[in-house]
A and B are shown apart, each in its own frame.
Chain A
Amino acid sequence: MIRLVLRDLALAVRAGGGFGLGLAFFLIVVVLVPFALGPETTLLAVIAPGVLWLGALLACLLSLDRIFALDFEDGTLDLLACAPVPLEGVVAAKAAAHWITTGLPLTLAAPILGVLLNLPGPGFWWLVISLAIGTPALSMIGAFGAALTVGLRRGGLLLSLLVLPLYVPTLIFGAEVARRGAVAMTLEAPLLLLAGITLGVLALLPFAAAAALRINLR
């Protein structure tokens, strides 16, 4: 499984665009928001946590259809299904590789982009924590959606429609943690709910995604 993660990372680095696409999209969204809304720093400070979370979520969505599609097309997925690695493990490894190439860079870039949106001082720390806790769920849910749509030509639209509603709870609680952090309110409740969603997703969805893959490989 670790081997599979390392291979996916090597492919993402060498093929180019693996790390860059989501990050560039995130950068563009966050940079353009102040231009669209005007230079009112008080307004920007209010919406900053929400905009950063929304940008990260949409950036995550961009690369989802590649999680299984490439391996399906060149036959690797068939061979992995016959390999001594359980398909649940393959799903978990693919989701982990997706998180490292997308969720992790987004989390690390968020505080830098927070400056552009005049994010209040105490919010930076909580923004990073909420993204670090929330983005693994985005990758895992995305891997599940990708597993459901893997055999379809142009499955990207269907994938987005399937995945977006599942992203809503993570978005609500993640953005809430970042917002409360920015105005220095107590934030235990949304933080625990966000962590709960992530842990539940990580525990359950590998099995659901592996079942979907088995059906799609038939």
Chain B
Amino acid sequence: MAWPFLPSDPILSLRAIAVTRGGVPVLSDVSFDLGAGEAVILRGPNGSGKTTLLRTIARLQPPLSGEILGEVDDIAYAAHADGIKGALSVAENLRFWADVFGTGAIDAALSAFDLRGLRDRAAQHLSAGQKRRLGLARLLVTGRRIWALDEPTVSLDAASVALFADALQGHLTAGGAAIIATHIDLGFDARVIDVSAFRAVACDDFDGAFL
């Protein structure tokens, strides 16, 4: 992919974004820049709008106002649900996504999340933590520059969190970037943004909920 920005330029910019969930504005006036090699951690209590903000950044829903600058095809989104098909094996699940994203190779991703020994196991027989590792390994086969991750470490043990931190560090070193909603400390320096500072004021726009 062509590199449309200088390394010092942000690869993703949020300008005064307001997001809604179920027709109710939850965050307003969110602005930040994300540069290559940078990670941003979103914090905030449950229901404060972290997931909604990530879905908006992934263009799964439009912002209520404001604009997002950056390539749409730069973002890999990982949510609470991993999108794993139980009837397929670990390798087949991963290869499907590698083919969809046009990258092809899955071995590096399997190694990075210690899934080699499980590659022919049907995904329905994996534990919750193993499924999560498979879901995270999917990020490596997307070849996308910006990872938008929603609670990536849920149900991971300490060793797996370390694997994830290593993979993330490698991604950042290679010029990638990440926006992560998490409650735990991943063990490296990252800019922390507390979304509760952007809480939207209750809005009286009655028609807005229907549009």
Is B101 touching A83 in the complex (CB atoms < 8 A)? yes
Residue of A14, A15, A74 touching B84 (CB-CB under 8 A): A74
Q: A75-B80, A84-B73, A84-B102 in contact; A11/B96 too (CB < 8 A)? A: no
Q: Which residues of A are found within 8 Å of B79, using beta-carbon distances?
A: 75, 78-79
Q: Which residues of B are found within 8 Å of A43, using beta-carbon distances?
A: none
B108 at the interface (CB under 8 A from A): no
User: Chain A 130-156, CB within 8 Å of chain B: the 1/0 string?
Assistant: 000000000000000000000000000
Is A82 touching B75 in the complex (CB atoms < 8 A)? yes
Count A/B pairs, Cβ under 8 Å: 62
Q: A75-B81, A84-B100 in contact; A217/B88 too (CB < 8 A)? A: no
Within 8 A of B (CB), among A67-100: 71, 73-76, 78-85
Given the complex of chains A and B, what is the CA–CA distance between A123 and B58 in angstroms? 53
B183 at the interface (CB under 8 A from A): no
B161 at the interface (CB under 8 A from A): no
User: Chain B 65-88, CB within 8 Å of chain A: the 1/0 string?
Assistant: 000000001011111111111011
Interface size on B, residues (CB 8 A): 27
Is A11 touching B85 in the complex (CB atoms < 8 A)? yes
User: Chain A 92-129, CB within 8 Å of chain B: the 1/0 string?
Assistant: 00000000000000000000000000000000000000
CB-CB nearest 6 A-B residue pairs: A75-B81, A76-B83, A218-B61, A14-B87, A75-B83, A3-B99
Write 20 A-B pairs (CB below 8 A) sorted by A numbering: A3-B100, A7-B88, A10-B87, A14-B87, A15-B87, A73-B81, A74-B85, A76-B85, A78-B77, A78-B79, A79-B77, A79-B79, A79-B83, A82-B58, A82-B76, A82-B77, A83-B101, A84-B102, A218-B61, A218-B62
